[in-house]
């Protein structure tokens, strides 16, 4: 058994991140399972060292210990950064394509593709036979119409919720879904605790797992918890958190 904390260093942590940390660490203690720290910094453009420092500071303030992963920011940047593994993720995607994963290059921008790419992207790139070219196209996975993925006792209509989701970005970086599956496979993660807002991402990763030889991801135990919200009932996010959460604020995936 193994659990992991997977914060993203794209902003200072908020109460929702701390809540996820606490729940994950508690489940690891209950199961007697080791805990890994996996910092998701594959999105190189959004990485800031002070955000990574905030992750270590927060975990130590919460007295959370991990057995696998970087000891501090220096160790993380030198030995554990996903930004150093772009070629590894690219090789994994190519291997998955060679073994039957259906994908296509897509030139649609975010403004062109609004909402899920159900049945294909808005620009019809499924049928255009475009070339996968950095700076020009992203790579989408073909999600068949009617595709349902079971996440525990829940069912997710992946074609409606996510559609043909992106696995490689136009800026020549791996997308979150691919990175998460590969990293959880390599860590041999068995239990994943995340917010209910990531239920659809979980379904996408289970769908992708078979093509990336990650049976542990498909068969993992998933716990989706309710979110910590702001005073108006809205979801907390790093983009709307203007100041970091200090250790004594009294609040509890990142």
pLDDT surpasses 60 at 231: no
pTM, full prediction: 0.89
Phi first, then psi, for residue 158 (nearest 5°) are: -65, -35
pLDDT of residue 148: 98
Rounded to the nearest integer, the mean pLDDT of the chain is 92
Q: What is the pLDDT of residues 69-104, one digit of tens each?
A: 999 999 999 999 999 999 999 999 999 999 999 999
| Class level of CATH domain 3-240 | alpha beta
Hey, how many other C-beta atoms are within 10 angstroms of the C-beta on 33?
15
Instruction: List the beta strands (DSSP E) in 53-147.
Output: 103-106, 138-141
Q: What is the pLDDT of residues 142-173, one digit of tens each?
A: 999 999 999 999 999 999 999 999 999 999 99
The Cα 29–Cα 64 span in angstroms is 10
The Cα 55–Cα 40 span in angstroms is 11
Q: What is the pLDDT of residues 173-225, one digit of tens each?
A: 999 999 999 999 999 999 999 999 999 999 999 999 999 999 999 999 999 99
Taken in order 177, 237, 86, 220, the sign of the CA dihedral is negative
- CA 157 to chain centroid, in Å, comes to 19
Taken in order 207, 221, 53, 241, the sign of the CA dihedral is positive
Whole-number Cα distances in Å, 200 to 21, 159, 224: 20, 10, 11
Strands across the sheet containing 166-168? 103-106, 138-141, 166-168
pLDDT surpasses 70 at 243: no
pLDDT surpasses 50 at 253: no
């Amino acid at each position: 058994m193994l659990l992991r904390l997977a914060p993203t260093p794209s902003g200072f942590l908020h109460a929702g991140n701390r809540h996820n940390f606490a729940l994950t660490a508690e489940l690891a203690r209950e199961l007697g399972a080791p805990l890994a720290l996996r910092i998701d910094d594959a999105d190189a453009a959004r990485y800031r060292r002070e955000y990574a420092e905030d992750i270590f500071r927060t975990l130590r303030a919460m007295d959370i210990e991990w057995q696998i992963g970087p000891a501090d920011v220096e160790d993380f940047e030198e030995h554990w950064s996903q930004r150093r593994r772009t070629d590894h993720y690219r090789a994994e995607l190519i291997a998955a394509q060679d073994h039957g994963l259906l994908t296509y290059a897509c030139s649609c921008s975010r403004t062109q593709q609004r909402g899920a790419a159900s049945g294909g992207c808005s620009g019809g790139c499924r049928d255009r036979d475009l070339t996968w070219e950095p700076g020009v196209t992203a790579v989408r996975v073909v999600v068949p119409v009617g595709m349902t993925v079971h996440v525990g006792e829940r069912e997710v209509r992946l074609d409606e919720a996510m559609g043909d989701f992106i696995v490689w970005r136009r800026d020549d970086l791996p997308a979150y879904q691919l990175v998460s599956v590969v990293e959880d496979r390599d860590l041999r993660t068995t239990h994943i605790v995340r917010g209910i807002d990531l239920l659809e991402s979980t379904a996408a990763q289970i769908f992708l797992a078979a093509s990336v030889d990650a049976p542990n991801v498909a068969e993992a135990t998933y716990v989706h918890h309710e979110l910590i919200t702001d005073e108006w009932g809205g979801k907390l996010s790093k983009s709307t958190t203007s100041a970091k959460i200090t250790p004594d604020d009294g609040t509890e995936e990142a």
